[in-house]
Amino acid sequence: MREIVPVQLGARSYEVRIGTGLLANAGAEIAPLLQRPRVAVVADETVADLHLEPLRAGLGEIEMVVLRLPPGEATKSWPHFTRTVEWLLDQKVERRDVVVALGGGVIGDLVGFAASVLRRGVRFVQIPTSLLAQVDSSVGGKTGINAPQGKNLIGAFHQPSLVLADLEVLGTLKPRDFLTGYGEVVKYGLLGDAAFFDWLEAHAPAMAAGDIEGRMHAVKRSIEMKAEIVARDETEQGDRALLNLGHTFCHALEAATGYSDRLLHGEGVAIGCALAFELSQRLGLCAQEAPSRVRAHLRAMGMKVDLGDIEGDLPGTEALIALMAQDKKVEEGKLRFILARGIGQAFVTSQVPHEVLAGVLDDALATRRA
């Protein structure tokens, strides 16, 4: 089972290959990119324990040197970035060599950024091992690390040369980690493809339970949508912002919960999508059925939907709005929102009156007390 989605970016175009057995066939997949039979692989400890030996076997005659980093968001930082770049230099990775990022979004973002600066830029291959990384972070070339001032504030656009999204590796994910990735999958239907959202309503429960053909369809459609938007607007001058549906709320909630496992990123995206549709409805942009349908589907999937689903304290409405104002999407002091005229009809706007936003958050916070 194998499908290819091209990302059309002129000289920087590449393929996202989706399927089963890609790790087992990694040597044949990657060999055409190599000038010599050697790759430098960076993985986190957890992923390395699960997937490094299958990758080694799949690479066959291709030699592999490995750097293992600690798992978790704290790895996306200057110390681990420096360590990665210096390790790559110690391994004598040359300008025409290829670096492999084996892992979730943290490893993909960090290694992509390291590849972007190493010898002024070397090629890299993404082998995403989480659903979230397969459908979002491994595609599109956003790379980087976090700063004390906020997430992803240091980085570069550096497109991979190939992405291998092996659906079999998703089999090792815990249900909560699968569902956090699902937050990004459902986002694609909500932002631009109502028929895909219909399909998810019917098929996502089976997919979450392991249906491999369903996973193929969901991952492929998500990547197709991302590839199409990235090809139109690689550096987010306009339409790429649509991919941030739910993220303005999400980033405020992640900051409020200390980027901890109280709220995983995709869980925040799901809650943020529900809030974005609620806000759209209150602004008269979409029918009441739209937010109800979004919420019903997320509930049916066993996902977090309301602020009441987040354990522990949360700040009040004005403090949450202040956290939103620290988002990268703020321009000239104005918050930018992705709102919707219906399911699959998202658009970007800064025209959101403060009192309507505050009303949505007041009511959402009230669900915590109900």
**Phi first, then psi: what are they for 227, rounded to 5°?**
-60, -40
247 is in an annotated binding site: yes
User: How many C-beta atoms lie closer than 10 Å to residue 44's C-beta?
Assistant: 22
Tokens of 177: 């980690």
328 is in an annotated binding site: no
In 142-262 the beta strands, taken as DSSP E runs, fall at: 142-147, 150-157, 162-166
Give dist(CA 287, CA 270) in Å, integer.
Answer: 19
Cα distances (Å, whole numbers) of residue 188 to 51, 95, 198, 243: 28, 36, 12, 8
Q: Is 142 in the site for ligand GLY (CB under 6 A)?
A: yes
* Choice between 19 and 155, CB closer to ligand GLY: 155
What are the CB-based long-range contacts (under 8 Å, 24+) for 362-370?
A: 362/317, 364/275, 364/278, 364/306, 364/307, 365/307, 365/314, 365/316, 365/317, 367/306, 367/307, 367/308, 368/306, 368/307, 368/308, 368/310, 368/314, 370/308
Q: How far is the CB of 98 from ligand GLY (least distance, A)?
A: 22
Give dist(CA 199, CA 225) in Å, integer.
Answer: 15
Q: How far is the CB of 342 from ligand GLY (least distance, A)?
A: 22
* Choice between 137 and 280, CB closer to ligand GLY: 137
174 is in an annotated binding site: no
The single residue among 55, 115, 243, 271 that binds ligand GLY, judged by CB under 6 A, is 243
Tokens of 353: 């009156």
Amino acid 240 reads: R
**Phi first, then psi: what are they for 68, rounded to 5°?**
-105, 130
* Choice between 98 and 133, CB closer to ligand GLY: 133
Q: Which of residues 64-93 bind ligand GLY (CB under 6 A)?
A: none
Please report how many Cα atoms fall inside a 13 Å half-sphere around the Cα of residue 224, on the Cβ side.
12
Please give the angle made by the CA atoms of 17, 162 and 123, to the nearest 5 degrees.
170
129 is in an annotated binding site: yes
Q: How far is the CB of 281 from ligand GLY (least distance, A)?
A: 24
Q: How far is the CB of 140 from ligand GLY (least distance, A)?
A: 4
In the chain the beta strands, taken as DSSP E runs, fall at: 2-7, 14-19, 38-44, 63-69, 98-103, 123-128, 142-147, 150-157, 162-166, 337-340, 346-349
Stretch that binds ligand GLY, among 14-22, 136-144, 208-216, 305-313 (CB under 6 A): 136-144
Q: How far is the CB of 136 from ligand GLY (least distance, A)?
A: 5
Q: Is 224 in the site for ligand GLY (CB under 6 A)?
A: no
151 is in an annotated binding site: yes
For residue 327, give the 3-state DSSP assignment.
coil
142 is in an annotated binding site: yes
265 is in an annotated binding site: yes
Q: Is 301 in the site for ligand GLY (CB under 6 A)?
A: no
316 is in an annotated binding site: no
Q: How far is the CB of 162 from ligand GLY (least distance, A)?
A: 18
4 is in an annotated binding site: no
Stretch that binds ligand GLY, among 39-47, 134-142, 148-156, 276-284 (CB under 6 A): 134-142
Q: Is 140 in the site for ligand GLY (CB under 6 A)?
A: yes
User: How many C-beta atoms lie closer than 10 Å to residue 349's C-beta?
Assistant: 14
Stretch that binds ligand GLY, among 104-112, 135-143, 165-173, 260-268 (CB under 6 A): 135-143
Active-site residue set: 120, 142, 184, 226, 236, 240, 244, 247, 251, 265
Q: Is 136 in the site for ligand GLY (CB under 6 A)?
A: yes
Q: Is 240 in the site for ligand GLY (CB under 6 A)?
A: yes
Q: Is 329 in the site for ligand GLY (CB under 6 A)?
A: no
Q: What is the DSSP letter of 169?
A: G
Q: Is 295 in the site for ligand GLY (CB under 6 A)?
A: no
Spell out the residues 6+ positions from residue 155 whose beta carbon is closer than 8 angstroms to its own: 109, 113, 142, 143, 144, 145
* Choice between 19 and 140, CB closer to ligand GLY: 140
Q: Is 265 in the site for ligand GLY (CB under 6 A)?
A: no
Give dist(CA 46, CA 72) in Å, integer.
Answer: 10
Q: How far is the CB of 237 from ligand GLY (least distance, A)?
A: 12
Please tell me the count of residues contacting ligand GLY according to CB under 6 A: 5
Binding site for ligand GLY (CB under 6 A): 136, 140, 142, 240, 243
